[in-house]
Amino acid sequence: MSETQKTATLTIEGATFDLPIYSPTSGPDVLDIRKLYGQAGVFTYDPGFTSTASCDSTITYIDGEAGILTHRGYPIGDLAEKSHYLEVCYLLLYGALPTAAELEKFEHTITHHTMLHEQMVNFFRGFRRDAHPMAIMTGVVGAMSAFYHDSTDINDPRQREIASHRLIAKMPTIAAMAYKYTIGQPFVYPRNDLDYASNFLRMCFAVPAEEYEVNPILARAMDRIFTLHADHEQNASTSTVRLASSSGANPFACIAAGIACLWGPAHGGANQACLEMLKEIGSVDRIPEYIKRAKDKEDPFRLMGFGHRVYKNMDPRATVMKQSADEVLELMGVEDNPLLQVAKELEHIALNDPYFKDKKLFPNVDFYSGIILEAMGFPTSMFTPIFALSRTVGWISQWKEQLSDPGHKIGRPRQLYLGEDTRSYTDIENR
C-alpha cells in the first residue's frame, strides 16, 4: 500500500479524528477507517460494500465510467484479441505475461493434470440425474480436498501452486462430466493433444460411438468466453472466496464457496436470464412490443443482457465477444433458430435506437456469451458452470494474493443492530 500524503478529519460530537487517505495507481482515493472503531467507538454502515475497499490488490482494475477493464495493467480487449486463455491464466497467477518457454511449461502442466482421480467418477453418481450442474460442481470441487491431500496446506507455497494448477486443469473436466451426467451420456475423458478450449468442447459433445472434430471457430469462441470471464475484481463470488480463505479454509473449499455464490441469478446467471428473455419474446415480430415495455418505467419488464451495474459505458468485453458471436452465428446459421433471430434484431435495435444509446444500454458480455453458448448447443443450465470454469483462475489468483499478504486477517464485518434491547428472562410458567 502506498504511503499516505493526505488525511480527512472526522468530527463526532466535538471530537476530531484524522483518517489517512491512500491514493491508488488508478481509481478514487481510499479513506482508511481501520482504526476508526478503536479511536472513535463507531462503525461505518455500507450495505453491499458499495463504497468499501475490502482489500488492496494488483490483479484487476475496473473503471466502469470509462468502460475500462485491465488485468495486471493489460486492457482486456488486447488480451482477448492477441492472447489466449492459458496465457491470461499465467498473467493473473504470476503477474507478468510468460516467455515462450514459461508458457510451454505452464500449458504442459495444465494439460497433463486434466484427469480426475478415478474414485471421483463414482462421486458424480451419488447425484440425481436431474441435478443442476452447478450443484454437482459445488459438491465435487468441495470434495477434492478428500482426494488431493498433498495440496491443502495453505502455508506451503508449493502446495498452493499445485492446488492452483489442479483446479485450473480439472475444472473443465468436472464441468463437462456434470453436463454429461445430467443428459445421461457416458463421460468423455480429456486428451493431451488438444488445447484447453477444444478439450472442453470435446468432453461435452463427443460420444464413444463416433469421432468428434472440434471446429476451430467454436474453439476460439470458447477460449474467448473463458478469457473474458477470467477475473472481474472484487465481485460477489471473488469476495466470497477471499472471505472463506481468510478463515484458513483449504483451496478447494474456498473455490467451492465461490461456485456456490456464482450460482445466484443476480451474479452468474445473467446470460441464462438473457436467453430466457429471448425465449419469452419468442419471435422477431414481437420485439416492438417488448421494446415498448422496456421503455415504460411502470412496466416491470427489463431487457436482460443490456447495460451493466459496473459499466456505465460500453462493456469492454462485449466488443470482442460480439466478434465471436458474429463468427459463430455465421458458422451455425440463424435461419432455423428463432431465438437467435430475436437476438440479432434486438442487438440491432439497441445499437441504433436513441433511447438505448442515450441511456448507454448497450449489449453486454452476458448477451453475447449467451447467444454463443446457445448456438454451440449448450443448454442454459450449463451457462453458469462455464462461467465458474472461466472464473476459477481469477478466484485462485485472488486467493493466492490474499494469502501472500502478511497483514491479512479473518473477515469479520460489523452490523447495525436493530433488534430488541436487553430483556429480562421469564420462566415459561410466568409467560
Strand locations in 1-128 (E)? 6-12, 15-22, 30-31, 60-63, 68-71, 74-75
Query: Tell me, what's the pLDDT at 2?
Result: 53
pLDDT at 329 over 70: yes
pLDDT at 284 over 60: yes
Query: Tell me, what's the pLDDT at 199?
Result: 98
What are 77-97's pLDDT values in tens digits?
A: 999 999 999 999 999 999 999
CB 318 within 8 A of CB 364: yes
Length of the chain: 431
**Look-up of cell digits 493466492:** 400
Of 399, 364, 379, the closest CA to residue 237 belongs to 399
Q: What percent of the chain has pLDDT over 90?
A: 68
Q: Which of these ranges, 88-102, 164-178, 256-270, 313-327, has the smallest mean pLDDT?
A: 313-327
Query: Tell me, what's the pLDDT at 4?
Result: 55
Rounded mean pLDDT, 228-252: 96
Task: Report helix angle 383-404 to 216-228, nearest 10.
Answer: 40
Query: Tell me, what's the pLDDT at 3?
Result: 56
The model carries a pTM of 0.91
Rounded to the nearest 5°, which phi and psi values hold at 11? -115, 125
Is the CA virtual torsion 297, 301, 304, 310 positive or negative?
positive
**What's at 405, amino acid-wise?**
D
- Examine the residue annotation and report whether 366 is marked as an active-site residue of this protein: yes
Q: Which of these ranges, 127-136, 265-274, 382-391, has the smallest mean pLDDT?
A: 265-274
Nine cell digits for residue 192:
493431451
CB 366 within 8 A of CB 312: no
pLDDT at 298 over 60: yes
Is the CA virtual torsion 360, 363, 365, 366 positive or negative?
positive
Q: 101 Cβ partners below 8 Å, 6+ apart?
A: none
| Residue 383 per-residue DSSP state | H
Catalytic entry in 165, 195, 308, 315: 308
CB 235 within 8 A of CB 49: no
What are 103-125's pLDDT values in tens digits?
A: 999 999 999 999 999 999 999 99
Query: Tell me, what's the pLDDT at 242?
Result: 97
pLDDT at 310 over 70: yes
Three-class secondary structure of residue 31 per DSSP: strand
CB 131 within 8 A of CB 182: yes
Catalytic entry in 71, 366, 408, 427: 366
Query: Tell me, what's the pLDDT at 306?
Result: 83
Query: Tell me, what's the pLDDT at 341?
Result: 85
Q: 71 Cβ partners below 8 Å, 6+ apart?
A: 59, 60, 79, 88, 91, 92, 230, 231
Query: Tell me, what's the pLDDT at 52?
Result: 92
CB 274 within 8 A of CB 366: yes
Task: Report helix angle 251-262 to 133-143, nearest 10.
Answer: 170
Rounded mean pLDDT, 380-407: 95
Query: Tell me, what's the pLDDT at 304?
Result: 84
- Examine the residue annotation and report whether 308 is marked as an active-site residue of this protein: yes
Rounded mean pLDDT, 353-367: 84
At 1, the pLDDT band (50, 70, 90 cuts) reads low
At 428, the pLDDT band (50, 70, 90 cuts) reads confident
CA pair distance 161, 82, nearest whole angstrom: 26
Query: Tell me, what's the pLDDT at 357?
Result: 82
| Residue 10 per-residue DSSP state | E
Q: Residue 26, CB half-sphere, CA atoms under 13 Å: how many?
A: 16
CA pair distance 199, 206, nearest whole angstrom: 10
Note the helical H segments in 248-353: 251-262, 270-281, 287-295, 316-332, 338-352
